Every structure is written in C-alpha cells, then in structure tokens.
Structure 1
C-alpha cells in the first residue's frame, strides 16, 4: 500500500503518527525492537492496523493494569517472546498529611505533572481517590517525577514508588446527566453538555479542538452513538452512555456520563 493510500484512512493530523508507527513496524521487520511511550486508544488502533499488515511483526500493549486506557507498545519481530519483556512502567503513589487531597481531581494532578515539564506521552493512567493518587509513568522519567512532584494545586504532597501489583485502580467516575436533544449531532450534544451556545461550540470543533473516540473531528454535524467518547479541549470529556428513546415530539432522550 502506498503512502497516499495509507494516509487516506486517517485524519491529516494523524499522518505524523502514522509515519512514526510505520517506521517502527518496518524496523521490527528488520529485527529491531521498539518500546513506545504511552499511546491513547486511537494511536494504539493505528499501530495495530499497521502491524496487522506485516506478517513478520507483532505488538504487545501494556499500561500497568488490565483495564488501562493509555498503554505502551512493544513492537518486535514475530519470533521474539514478548510476555516476559520489561515494559518500562513504574507506579508512583501521591499522598499527603493534608486532608485537602479529597478535594483534588484528575485535572489537578495532571496539571501539576505537566507543569514539571513532563510530556503527556510519558504519563499513563491516573487513578484518583480521596486519599491521594496512583499514576503510571515511563520508567525513564520515574525518578524525576518522584523527586520533583512536591505540590498539587497548592497541597504539599509526598511521593513513593510502589510495585505495580499495589496499584489502586479507582476506575472511571462518571457524573450522569440526561438530555433531550433534537438530533444526535456532535455540536448539539456538546453544546448541551457544557452549557454553551451552538455558535460558541462551532469554533473549537472546526479548529480541531474536539475529538470523538480520540480521533480529531471537525464536522459539527457528525452523529454520535452509544459508547462514543467525546473530548473538548479545555472542557474535559464525556461518554454517550445510552440513547434511551425518542419523545412524542421526536426528540432524543440521551444519557451522558461526564468524566470527573
């Protein structure tokens, strides 16, 4: 398949990642092994698609726990046993003597981590509880994170490295809301979820700041369906949990889960 044919399956903004993934696969076919940074589900899908085009290459994904969203990938020749390979994932625990930890959320921890100059690609899933946070990082930056993460949203914290089996996977927390919408269009549902006018929603969508299932989506009229995960830069993300039916007036009753 030519590069142009390959590109046709992906959004233009994904072409740079497609190029990198294609190079990883090509080198694996030449007996080289590549351990990636943490990939989001869309990137993992792209990589899997490219690996499946090669008979001599395999890939293993691991994010530190079975239900991980963000995962590192190990791409290697098909003769190599990957199950025992070190995936370079470290678990860091964040605690504090301050009871204000219970008021912190995912965005607080993420903001403090990124403020240290850390690239998002080096960070896996973040699990927040009332008692602190467990988050997964690439082994090559674990020491830096442990030594330098001393404050989260003005709360002084302590960090320590724990064995992966000690991970407290808190699961996804969703705030459920019910909507009645005229259609399943992306712009209409995003507008209602974030209480913004349709006009204010169109600008960020058309500017490429909205993703559906981790894929950039610039078409405001794209219809959403059950299971779709939507993120809007600066506002967070939500999941379409269920389309519950249609009212007598022809409006859709939709159950939405906002990530908290």
Structure 2
C-alpha cells in the first residue's frame, strides 16, 4: 500500500486498511468472495471507499436490518449478485421470567456474550426490550450462542434462534444533558459530559482512547459538530443531538445524549 494512501488513515486503522486491500485484490484478481465479520461504521466506510477504487469489485453491507450500525460485508467480483442472506447474519432472542431482566443493559449482554470466548467482531447490534433482548450475531456461531448463553449478570435467560423477519429494533435511548460551553472543542465537551477536569481528559485523548464517529481522535482541540458520536474508553459514548444557539454571553448551548 502506498504511503500516500496510508496517510489518509490513523495509524491504528492501517492494519485494517491493509487487510481490506488484500480482500479486494483477491476478489478482483482471483475472483474470490470474501465475507467479513461485523464492521463498525468507520470500518465499513473505509472498506467502501477502498472498494470504490477498484472497478472489478462490488460490496454489499448488511447487518440484519436496514438501519444496522454494525454490518457484515460481502466483497465479490462485479459479475456476481450477492444477496443479503449471504452475509450470514442470524438473530438470537434472550428472555427470562426474572423481574430483574428489565434492569439489564447493553453492557450486561455484551459482557455475557464475550465471556463465552467470542470476539466482539462476531456480534452485531443488540436490541433491548423489557421482555426480550434481540441479538444479531454471526450465523456460524448462532447455535453456539443459543446453546451457551444461559446467564446475563446473574439473571438466568432462555435463548432461541428467530428468523430475521421477527427482529424488533429498539429505539436508541439517550440520557439527555444540556450544556453551556465556551467552544465546541472536543476536550471541553468531553470534560463536561464525563464530569472530569479538562486536565484529566487530555491524557486519554492523546493516548488514542477517544473516538469521534468511530475514528480515533488524538487532537483535544478537534471541533465537534451536531450529529457527532464521541466515545471515551471506560466512559461510554454520547452524541451531539442539537446546537441550541448562543447565550447573551456568547457561550454555546447544546443538547447531548449519553447512550444508555
């Protein structure tokens, strides 16, 4: 891969970029069909931008439903017509008669699933409801999850496979906050949301533990915009929901949503 192309990506992303280029080249030169694990939105964007550079290859992204955040990809020669079902996405439903089931959160299910010895890459979106949790997983591991997921944060659960048509997407739940900030700098907003001093948020940002729209961001002065999704390792993630204008003193009023 050329240094010029490498320069467009963060150093942490370059191993994925090299791997994606290899998939694309194998599809173009050897007519291979490559099915990836689940990709986050940034990885999907990188892969799509690289595929667009190769005329003999096409890309299909599918995560089980139209608005999926995490999706698997099919990279195929341009003369093939891959279908969404070939992406290998399966649906697992977890339920429980335990009244504490409704208190479980996304992290509880993610932790229980990865505790089974499976990488995050094999898991798609997780949809929580009061009476059930719908989990999108790699089809090749669906039976394994169905057989082995028996407890989530001390709550016993029952699991079964369902057809994708029975998926119940959950609306994203936000814990909303209203902030008044001097500027849209990343470090300032992160400091307010995480309730830490700016001095304390600087080291994790510079250490590469912060992402903006799923891309590692090491510049504390990065200006944020409405719609940006920000995450800090160990503190979850939030979204800039709305800029509400300026106060008389010139401070910026904004509405932020922390993911539940």
Distance in 1 between the 2:88 and 2:132 partners?
A: 23
Please list the CA deviations of residues 169-221 of structure 1 after superposition, one character each: whole Å capped at 9, or x if unmatched: 01211121110011101011011111111111111111111100000001111
TM-score by length of 2: 0.98
Question: What is the match of residue 8 of structure 1?
Answer: 7
Structure 1 spans left out of the alignment, 5+ residues: none
Q: 1:74 aligns to what?
A: 74
Alpha-carbon distance in 1 for matches of 2:108, 2:85: 33
> Relative to structure 1, is the Cα distance of residues 169 and 84 closer, same or farther in structure 2, using a 3 angstrom cutoff?
closer
Report the counterpart of residue 246 of structure 1 in structure 2.
246
* Aligned position for 1:21: 20
Residues 112 and 153 of structure 2 are in contact (CA less than 8 Å); yes or no, is this contact kept in structure 1?
Answer: yes
Q: Which runs of 5+ in 2 are unaligned?
A: none
> Does structure 1 residue 223 correspond to structure 2 residue 223?
yes
Q: Distance in 2 between matches of 1:241 and 1:70?
A: 21
In 2, the alpha carbon distance for the partners of 1:3 and 1:189 equals 36
Classify the secondary structure of the residue corresponding to 1:86.
helix
User: Helix, strand or coil: the match of 2:248?
Assistant: coil
Alpha-carbon shift at residue 84 of structure 1 (Å): 6.1
* 3-state secondary structure, aligned to 1:29: helix
TM-score after normalising by structure 1: 0.98
User: Is 2:104 aligned against 1:104?
Assistant: yes
d(CA) in 1 for partners of 2:117 and 2:204? 26
